[in-house]
Structure 1
Amino acid sequence: MKSFSGLILLSFIVFQACSDSNENVTQEAVQNNDEFKTFKIDTEAKPVSIFELIEEVEIMRFEETEESLLSYIYQVYSTEDEIIFPSGNDGSIYSYSKKGEFIRKFSHVGNGPGEYEFIWSFWVDGDRIFVSDINRRRLLSYDLEGSHLKSWKLPFSAKSFFTYDKGFVADLDYRAFQDSLQFNVLFLDENMEVKQMANPYFSPLILYVGSNVNSFQPYGKDLIYHGFKRDSVFLIEDNRTRPLLKFDFGEEWLWTEETIKNNPRTTGLIRETDLVWWVDSYIGEKWIYLSYKTSMKDVFKVLIDRNSGVQKAVKVNKNAATKYAMTPIKWEEDRFMVSLQSPDVQEFMTDLGESKVKFREGTTLDEIESSENPVLLWVKFKELK
């Protein structure tokens, strides 16, 4: 009996040691991913169909009502009970349940107090919704019902904002602060007073093309900072930035320091050179979904495994002439959230294989096909080889 008890104890110790070891390996892998890495991007790589890379997809519809006729969806935030996002360019913000049921919408487009001209940066922090109005240099907050809470008049023009450390962080996007301090990132207190600055730049980049993708992305307890005119990604922690990733396009990268100095007005240069000038990155713990442009219209996509460094150029074609209108949004753990227009869903399922498709609770194909609202997809990718 003592021998049997000793065997159980020994087995438990071995099991516990293995569990601790596996946990340490997992933690070490995460820590290694947050060490600086460079990924050389092969712009000549032959793209493979996204359907070859997908393991499975979950789909959620959005209920269509007279109040909730949605356009495209490009930013999504979640609370415990709701999914919240702007849709299209009309300035409306929508709330849905986790089953895709419409809850409410609000819009404060206008010229008065608590109103905005256009939604630029948008995010949700706890029970507050934030909107930055870049043209009027104004940041506004609302509760989840849409009631105005507070407005801040900004002493500078900033492309993107996010809440951070009881205050805010702002991306000046190559605009000088106080006409002399050449920093891209400002750390601000709750009254918009500058606490600290980071990421100095040396030359102004005058480019009359914008993006309403926020430069800041939540990343665990920290933030990621990546502007679309940069080939580097930074991790924001402890009111500082540090390099996290670099996408090396070699001689195919347009925005060198020399290029910026010699060509301060650069829109024509984009058309002339056909070099990489726009980069959007979506960073997960394991995966990177990269999107870049070499002209005003062509968009190229790359899926990267952060652990192995393996990457695949991706195409999302319906056929030789057209592409699926899939809009990347963010990673949720190991799933990549994208939006897709509802008329494409049946064809998308056929191309992928219906056995790889699951509908979230409250969603059916009949409901999707009877609506013009886009859907959300949660995409799980296979291991890259």
Structure 2
Amino acid sequence: MGKLKLFGFASFLVFFFDACTVHETKSEIPTLSIDLDQVRKGKASDYFESVDYLWFEDESSEDASIGVFHRVIKHKGRFYIFDEDICICFYIFSEDGKFIKKIKGYGEGPGEYMSPSVFLIQNDTILLNDISQKKILSYDLDGNWLEDGEQRLPANEVHLDSKGNEYYFSRSYMLNNTKNQVRVFDKHGHLKFVGFPYKDEFLGLNVVNRKPFVELSGGVVLVDDYIDTLYIIDQYVEKPFLAFDFKDKGYKSKDLERLKDLDVMEQLEFLNKKTPLYFDGRAVLSERFFIGSFRFQEKSVIGVYDFENHVSSTFDFGVINDLDQGKVIYGLSPLDQESVYSWTTGIDLYKHVESLKRTMSKEEWQKYVKGEGSNLVNTAIRAKESENRVLIIFKWK
């Protein structure tokens, strides 16, 4: 594994769209306008060219039953799934959803972990960071433990880019001797970048974003909560990437000052029902699209920016899957550079298919099963009694 050091990372559930279109005003920085007066329904076909389904089969072994998706990695014809809360383990499934292995090593000895966080694959090596023991465990692609390594520094999330650079994101409680959230080391371990000061005024309001770093062709984008501008780190220099226009509904200094005087229950009341408009840190990105989740008081909306056409859209929560009449989509997470995913259970997917069937004539149903609904229906029938996860995989346009 070399001397790679890591810490804190995962995946995060993300959300969706519904369409209202606003063309960007002239600006040097692309700007996404969140217009709460122009919120509409959105369609998956506006952003994705196809949808696919994969059931993680749980018939062969009890170990195949998945707890929580914190990170799903597709690598060399396999799926690697990390659950840091329920089973505190990771799973390996084949490309067609067959269970291969469950890897669990809770403890304090070599090859064991207590509080795993980072989960990623680099150079055909699986890396799992243990926060409490400040070490990184490495495994081969079959899940066999190789060695324990030493982490470089504490962090909440870590990313490794395609050039071997290491990106560390830390909340203020992790590092008391620095005023910045992000540090970047090159592949030789040299510190090349320190930036993004802590937002002390938001310390009590942090949203848990399990994937703040997203690599695009131009660099690595930092996707953090409560910000009004996303930045890209290119050649160890930060540059504005996408600004948010909250239409005078965003946080103001008086809101932040007021928060400091609230007790815990009052803060929760404010967060759940009275918040100004803000970005909650959850998003998926491609070279063309940004799709992010925004909250205003008791309502969540989706903001979409099309970098190719310089267009902003504000959507209702929930995406209409018009690609194959599948389930409405309420959460998206990154899978690879070409795809994102949502998920459901086999039981719920089958219920959706049965509901669709009741709305169609016999002729319409036969046409649907042989056409656009073929993969959806076949997967639902196979998984109809399973509570295990079915990935719903969307390929970017």
1:253 matched to 2:250? The reply is yes
2:316 and 2:351 mapped to 1: Cα distance? 18
Question: CA contact under 8 A between 1:85 and 1:93: conserved in structure 2?
Answer: yes
Q: Does the CA contact (< 8 Å) of 2:228 and 2:245 recur in 1?
A: yes
Aligned to 2:291: 289
Q: Does 1:338 align with 2:357?
A: no
Quote the residue 2:34 is aligned against. Answer: 41
Equivalent residues in 2 for 1:271-310, closer than 5 Å: 271-272=269-270, 273-277=274-278, 278-294=280-296, 299-308=300-309, 309-310=311-312
Q: Report the equivalent of 1:370.
A: 385
CA contact under 8 A between 1:55 and 1:356: conserved in structure 2? no
C-alpha distance after superposition, 1:183-205 (max 9, x if no partner): 11101356866443122346363
Q: Secondary structure at the match of 1:289?
A: strand
- Asked if 1:215 corresponds to 2:231, the answer is no
Deviation of residue 313 (structure 1)? 0.5
SS at the partner of 1:78?
strand
What amino acid sits opposite 2:302 in the alignment? K
Pair 202,211 (structure 1): closer, same or farther in 2 beyond 3 Å: closer
Opposite residue 234 of structure 1, the aligned amino acid is Y
Q: What's 1:169 paired with?
A: 167
Alignment: residue pair count: 338
Q: Which of residues 307, 310, 313 in structure 2 aligns to 1:311?
A: 313
| Higher RCO structure, 1 or 2 (CA under 8 Å, sep 6+) | 2
Which ranges in structure 1 are unaligned for 5 or more consecutive residues? 1-34
Q: Please state if 1:359 is matched with 2:352.
A: no
Instruction: Pick one of 89, 101, 104 that aligns with 1:104.
Output: 101
Contact 1:121 1:213 in 2 (8 A): no
Pick aligned residue for 2:140 from 140, 143, 152: 143
CA-CA distance at 1:93 after TM superposition = 0.8
**Partners of 1:69 and 1:264 in 2: CA distance:** 44
Deviation of the 1:45 alpha carbon? 3.4
For 1:280, give the aligned amino acid: R
Q: What are the ranges of 5 or more consecutive residues in structure 2 without an aligned counterpart?
A: 1-27, 321-326, 358-367
C-alpha distance in structure 2 between counterparts of 1:331 and 1:36, whole Å: 27
- The answer to whether the Cα contact below 8 Å between 1:174 and 1:205 also exists between their aligned partners in 2 is no
Per-residue CA shift, 1:114-170, capped at 9, x if unaligned? Answer: 433334332222312223344555444333233143322454x42111124445210
User: How many angstroms does 1:241 deviate by?
Assistant: 2.7
1:62: Cα distance to partner? 1.0
- What TM-score results when the alignment is normalised by the length of structure 1? 0.73
Alignment match of 2:80 (pick from 84, 90, 95)? 84
Change (3 A) 1:366 1:130: same
CA distance in 2, matches of 1:176, 1:204: 17
**Superposition TM-score, scaled by structure 2 size:** 0.71
CA shift digits 1:294-313 (9 cap, x unpaired): 46x85433444332314240
Give, in whole Å, the separation in 1 of the partners of 2:206 and 2:342: 24
Structure 1 pair 236–148 and aligned structure 2 pair: CA distance change class (3 A): farther
Tell me if 1:234 matches 2:234.
no
1:317-367 Cα distance to aligned partner (Å, 9 max, x none): 89xxxx96743112656643222222222354556976534529xx63322
**2:155 aligned counterpart, secondary structure:** coil
Query: What is the distance in 1 between the residues matched to 2:210 and 2:277?
Result: 18
2:29 pairs with 1:57: no
Residues 201 and 63 of structure 1: CA distance in aligned 2, closer, same or farther (over 3 Å): same
Matched, 1:128 2:125: yes
Work out the CA distance in 2 between the residues paired with 1:215 and 1:235.
11
- How far the C-alpha of 1:237 sits from its partner, in A, is 2.6
The RMSD of aligned alpha carbons is: 3.7
Looking at CA atoms only, which structure, 1 or 2, has the larger radius of gyration?
Answer: 1
Alignment check: 8 A CA contact 1:59 1:357 kept: no
- Higher mean displacement: 299-308 or 93-102: 299-308
Instruction: Output the amino acid matched with 1:43.
Output: L
Go from structure 1 to structure 2 and tell me whether the alpha carbon gap of 1:229 and 1:124 turns closer, same or farther (over 3 Å shift).
farther
- Which region of structure 1 is more displaced relative to structure 2, 61-70 or 274-283? 274-283
Letter in 1 for 2:214: Q
Q: Counterpart of 1:207 in 2: which secondary structure? A: helix
Once residues 149 and 221 of structure 1 are traced to their aligned partners in structure 2, the CA distance between those partners, rounded to angstroms, is 34
Q: 1:49 to 1:210 in 2, by over 3 A?
A: closer
Distance 1:367 1:112 in 2: 41
